[in-house]
Structure 1
Amino acid sequence: MPSETPASPPTLPPFRERAPWLGGDLQTLRNIIIGGPPELSGGERLLLAMPDGDRLAARLDRPGAETNAPLIVLTHGLAGSESSRHGIATARYLVSQGWPVLRLNLRGAAPSRATSGGRYHAGKTEDLVAALRGLPAELVSRGIVLIGNSLGGNLVLKFMGEGGHGLPVLAAVAVSTPIDLAASCARLMAPRNFVYHRYMLDEMKREALAPSATLTAAERAAIAGARTLYEFDDRFVAPHFGYRGAPDYYESNAAKNFLAGARLPTLILHALDDPWVPAESYAAIDWSRLPMIETALTQGGGHMGFHGVGSLTPWHDRAAAQWLTQKGLGPASHVRDEVRPPQ
């Protein structure tokens, strides 16, 4: 197992907001206002089996030339999928730099709906484990790097804190992550976030009530009747997965409670003006006591925004690529032919 030597602050490009996207809200909304980049051409469809018979759909995009880079596995955020604008942007950039990228659609997220009746939640790492174990050997022969966006970041950080489950994971990056689920729920429901909250709740309901979802009549009624994100989690998500209620679900799955277990290099990128995730969640952590975790906490950037000067590529994608290269996990620098799971 790697030794837990203290992580030095990452050397990353500075982030400065690009006009006119000034402030956390405009940074967050830019991709909705302007639109994201086009989908990559080609791509391969994989269906990854879960122990209960569900299958998760994933999209694999490879660089034009073969490289020695590890596989990037990208997990989306709440009510997202492989078609999320920021996910497409991440895949386009990293593939252009020489990494193969697999975008994993969690249970119930399109296009996994056609092959899964179940649903994901913020900490359902058993699905991530099963998906990674189901990947073809040739894809993971040079190792795996996990990148989690928003709620997917919570999933990735919890996975890392659980020790990696004996899989050939080399490192992880989490972006705009709600590491304190209860605090982020309260923040999203704040009056200043009314529009965000209504939009997300409507999207979550639409996703959860898909015809393919395996639900009881009572669960469908609970979903339809939820007036807030908290009610959605308390009346549907928590009981559906065996938790006593929303507080139990939040505390059992919040990444903040798993960070100390990280044994592999992990980078956290987060903007302190994120309108969805309170900065206090990050200020409450003593990062100096977490030797394998490096943080880059910027003053601006919003939620999954990071639209900075000097490049149309979001800063978090450029920062992740530079950090991976510094760790010897870039297309040119990754020289190991095969990676074995940590013992």
Structure 2
Amino acid sequence: MPILQSTYKPSFQFKNGFIATVYSGIIRSVTLEQQRERIATRDTDFLDLDWSYAQNKSTSVIILLHGLEGHAQRPYVTGTAKLFNQNGMDAVCMNFRGCSGEDNRLYKSYHSGATNDLDDVVQHCIKQKKYSKIYLQGVSLGGNVVLKYLGEDRILPLEIRAAIGVSVPMHLDGSSTELQKLKNRPFAIRFRKHLLDKLRIKQKQFPDLLSDDNLSHIKTLREFDDFYTSKAHGFEDAMDYYTQCSSLQFAQSIEVPTLVINALNDSFLSAKCYPVKEAKQNNNLYLEMPNFGGHVGFIQKGGFYYNEKRALEFVNTHNNS
């Protein structure tokens, strides 16, 4: 599909990617009433889902996936949910394992390529027998999960009609390298702190696998992936994890209309995170690359962000497909 021309034009101060990213991650707030549901996973763990609903009974639902160390109350999740609710669709925000305020049961948790949990949520929505149309949106890490899920060798439910990925690190090794650079040091430090705090909680349950000495040697996000993410989830090391789970390699196989919005000034993304070739070769893959927006920072007047409005437009365009 041809590359889409973006119409996103932020105000002057938000043309700076760092400012847009920080404002969106720390200052923005969204008010949304949610109802929590806990479901079982196929491997005896659990997922917490946070639902919000349209005013009238809806036959459409959007499943929303957050980013690294996020959760279902983050404004970039609730903003989309609220907009879709106001436009007649239900929304379910999926908390990755260990991200809902309670540690999950197993030693493993979540990662950029863990698609079985998303499939469990999709199947859960289908079993309710009230949704004939299901849409998917993933932000950052969640976007990688969505794109990988769509492009994997699986038979997708017919109810899935369209998907959106926002600020997606489609080449995980490249994105990991960018995050370790000086320009992203404040973000890398923040991510590392949150991840290590989670491991210290998990250490109480698995002391033989997580010693104080182990944790003290983790100085970077890549080292975290080398020690925990890869080993806990069956990969050899961080590079093996990045190689197997990058959604870029699955983009050519996506058969559901899918929109990817990656800003050109997103400091988290490497050049390979922009699937220009893949979009040109796949009629179902739409790529929009605004000049501005930083990482999930597509700020606009009026309360809702540009990417949220674009997601709704894209879904409405494919509402009858």
Residues 163-178 of structure 1 correspond to what in structure 2 (within 5 A)? 163=153, 165-167=155-157, 168-178=159-169
- On the 8 A contact 2:3/2:279 being kept in 1, the answer is no
- On the 8 A contact 1:25/1:302 being kept in 2, the answer is yes
The AA in structure 2 aligned to 1:208 is: L
CA drift at 1:183:
0.4
Q: What are the Cα deviations for residues 245-284 of structure 1, in whole angstroms up to 9, with x where unaligned?
A: 1110000000011111111111101101001112443166
- Larger CA deviation: 238-247 vs 160-169: 160-169
CA distance in 1, matches of 2:48, 2:204: 15
CA gap of 1:204–1:46, structure 2 versus 1, over 3 A, is same
Report the counterpart of residue 132 of structure 1 in structure 2: 122
CA distance in 2, matches of 1:194, 1:245: 23
TM (norm. structure 1) is: 0.86
Report the counterpart of residue 31 of structure 1 in structure 2: 24
Q: 2:251 aligned with 1:259, yes or no? A: yes
CA gap of 1:165–1:120, structure 2 versus 1, over 3 A, is farther
The AA in structure 1 aligned to 2:15 is: L
Which of 292, 297, 301 aligns to 1:300? It is 292
Report the counterpart of residue 44 of structure 2 in structure 1: 53
Q: 2:55 aligned with 1:81, yes or no? A: no
Report the counterpart of residue 324 of structure 1 in structure 2: 315
CA distance in 1, matches of 2:143, 2:247: 9
CA drift at 1:203:
1.2
Which of 109, 114, 134 aligns to 1:144? It is 134
CA distance in 2, matches of 1:95, 1:164: 30
Report the counterpart of residue 3 of structure 1 in structure 2: none
CA drift at 1:303:
0.2
CA drift at 1:37:
1.7
- On the 8 A contact 2:174/2:270 being kept in 1, the answer is yes
CA drift at 1:225:
2.8
- Larger CA deviation: 114-123 vs 260-269: 114-123
Which of 180, 187, 201 aligns to 2:178? It is 187
CA gap of 1:213–1:118, structure 2 versus 1, over 3 A, is farther
CA distance in 2, matches of 1:212, 1:101: 34
CA drift at 1:311:
3.1
Q: SS at 2:319's partner residue?
A: coil
CA drift at 1:149:
0.5
The AA in structure 2 aligned to 1:194 is: R
TM (norm. structure 2) is: 0.91
CA distance in 2, matches of 1:287, 1:213: 46
CA distance in 2, matches of 1:315, 1:183: 26
- On the 8 A contact 1:117/1:213 being kept in 2, the answer is no
CA distance in 2, matches of 1:317, 1:181: 24
CA drift at 1:85:
2.2
CA distance in 2, matches of 1:266, 1:258: 12
Report the counterpart of residue 210 of structure 1 in structure 2: 201
CA distance in 2, matches of 1:57, 1:141: 19
- Larger CA deviation: 245-254 vs 138-147: 138-147
CA gap of 1:286–1:144, structure 2 versus 1, over 3 A, is closer
Q: SS at 2:188's partner residue?
A: helix
CA drift at 1:111:
3.6
Taking only the aligned residue pairs, the percentage that are identical comes to: 24
CA drift at 1:100:
0.4
Report the counterpart of residue 90 of structure 2 in structure 1: 100
CA drift at 1:96:
1.5
CA gap of 1:103–1:119, structure 2 versus 1, over 3 A, is same
The AA in structure 1 aligned to 2:8 is: F
Q: What are structure 1's unaligned runs of at least 5 residues?
A: 1-6, 335-343
CA gap of 1:113–1:136, structure 2 versus 1, over 3 A, is farther
Q: SS at 1:170's partner residue?
A: strand
Q: What are structure 2's unaligned runs of at least 5 residues?
A: none
Q: 2:112 aligned with 1:122, yes or no? A: yes
Residues 5-44 of structure 1 correspond to what in structure 2 (within 5 A)? 7=1, 14-38=7-31, 40-41=32-33, 43-44=34-35
CA drift at 1:112:
5.3
CA distance in 2, matches of 1:44, 1:33: 24
Report the counterpart of residue 144 of structure 2 in structure 1: 154
Report the counterpart of residue 306 of structure 2 in structure 1: 315
CA distance in 2, matches of 1:139, 1:60: 16
CA gap of 1:140–1:209, structure 2 versus 1, over 3 A, is farther
CA drift at 1:140:
5.3
CA distance in 1, matches of 2:204, 2:118: 19
CA distance in 2, matches of 1:91, 1:269: 18
CA gap of 1:112–1:321, structure 2 versus 1, over 3 A, is farther
Q: What are the Cα deviations for residues 111-165 of structure 1, in whole angstroms up to 9, with x where unaligned?
A: 4536666400110111211222233633653121110010000000000001554
